A and B are shown apart, each in its own frame.
Chain A
């Protein structure tokens, strides 16, 4: 708080209310998110190799550099301290393929920060999740490099490097539960291990950083829609458990969809948002041309957030219908 008087000889500090402050700040929340991603980073290094740390550091450094540069050009205050640039860089790195080129990583981080966030006016004004926007750009630019996967370190039958979703879609091979859960599969750097992602996600919910409604509604949605399709034809369509633990669903559920800026603010809106994402994920995975659809589903629903917020605006207390 800024004191009214700056004369140090006054004993009494005069400030306007409120006088009690919570320790919550954007900065505090953002560093909690970084902590929650540590298990995913550790498992990434275990499952793949040290190169993952290089990708992650390059991504974070580029994100911070781009943000500072844009703030400097626009003559604004530097906002690196709020940690949002670090988060964007870290999240972007964790959803890239393990062997992605560093040049591509740099492009992705620059696009994520500049076109995903700063072009709208910085943190709090962006419509789309910056990390996902960066990944969508890379996916459209380098479709081959973005779908080249690495054989995980502990692979017992390393005959294929396809992700479980691609194997399911194109070769009708189903991956069993235990590698899916531990992460011993092909996939993006940080999202292969369901266990690590769940640890981070539960930590976030327990600390109160993210609202539990969005993850829960997404879970219910995917069990519901995935289950319906599975019951219709269990031989062709994957079961809901596979849907939950494969691809980037859990990672997107805990870290992407729950982004404060790009998710609805009303409780009812969060339910609509989460269930909408799940519906799109199931539709893209089962009927779409791509094996995975979490990124596009979340980006698509991000676009609907202003509309959802408007429709689910709660009635003012005491207002007559």
Chain B
């Protein structure tokens, strides 16, 4: 039987441990394509989170009704319903934002993050757990998209959320708002994340070895007599 984890843990694991972008490497298309500015990143992540949470919840509730042979198709129908809602709401309420995000809002339907969580988690867990898991993943996605969007906006246009923050003499790096800038930013951030994880793991390993050594529990190699 699987070890039961607390609901809080179901939420917080999405922030770092199984972060959608850094660890699962899911949802790369919106991560790379729409993070030209911080606001775009936030909007995209919020729309994705909305779809992710509600579709995970529904899928989890009816998980025993869905025949396994047609589960992907069923998931897509459910996801598409919420994507349509998100798309229409954004078109009605934030037409500017909707225009700048272009086809990427409808494309949430095929976002592998949502399908991935549905298949890997929501279809196997209770609705409450699915809710916390999807909220955590959505928040993790939001944080990363905001970071990437901010970096690209600051260096590529000299602004953040539309406010000028760089000195006037700063010449924007056009490459950062081009696709190449997205790949560079994501690659460097992911490299930093892995570097940090490795660093921490090494420290832990060393401290464990040190502990064993000081308590003399490690067998010392004896020379043959």
Contact = CB atoms under 8 A, between A and B. Distances in A.
A45 to B, nearest CB: 26
Interface string A179-207: 00000000000000000000000000000
B171 interface: yes
| Size class of the contact patch on chain B | under 10
Nearest to A140: B175
Interface string B57-82: 00000000000000000000000000
A145 interface: yes
Nearest to A137: B175
Interface in B158-179: 171, 173-176, 178
Contacts of A141: 173-176
A142 B174 contact: yes
B178 A145 contact: no
Nearest to A143: B174
| Size class of the contact patch on chain A | 10 to 19
Contact of A142 (B173, B178, B180): B173
Contact of A140 (B171, B174, B191): B174
A145 B171 contact: yes
A145 B184 CA distance: 22
A227 B49 CA distance: 59
Determine chain B's interface SS by DSSP, over half rule.
helix
Contacts of B184: 115
B202 to A, nearest CB: 11
Contact of A119 (B174, B176, B191): B191
A141 B175 CA distance: 4
Contacts of A119: 191
Contacts, number: 20
B51 to A, nearest CB: 34
A237 B173 CA distance: 34
Interface string A135-159: 0010011110100000000000000
Contacts of A143: 174
B171 A142 contact: yes
A274 to B, nearest CB: 27
Interface in A96-123: 101, 103-104, 107, 115, 119
Interface string B173-216: 11110101000100000010000000000000000000000000
- Which of B171, B178, B184, B191 is the most central at the interface, judged by chain A CB atoms within 10 Å of its CB? B171
A137 B173 CA distance: 9
A136 to B, nearest CB: 9
A137 B181 CA distance: 9
A140 B173 CA distance: 8
Interface in A61-115: 101, 103-104, 107, 115
Contacts of B173: 107, 141-142
- Which of A140, A141, A143, A145 is the most central at the interface, judged by chain B CB atoms within 10 Å of its CB? A141
Interface of B: 171, 173-176, 178, 180, 184, 191
20 contacts: A101-B171, A103-B171, A104-B171, A107-B173, A115-B184, A119-B191, A137-B175, A140-B174, A140-B175, A140-B178, A140-B180, A141-B173, A141-B174, A141-B175, A141-B176, A142-B171, A142-B173, A142-B174, A143-B174, A145-B171
Query: Lowest 3 A-B CB distances belong to which pairs?
Result: A140-B175, A141-B173, A141-B175
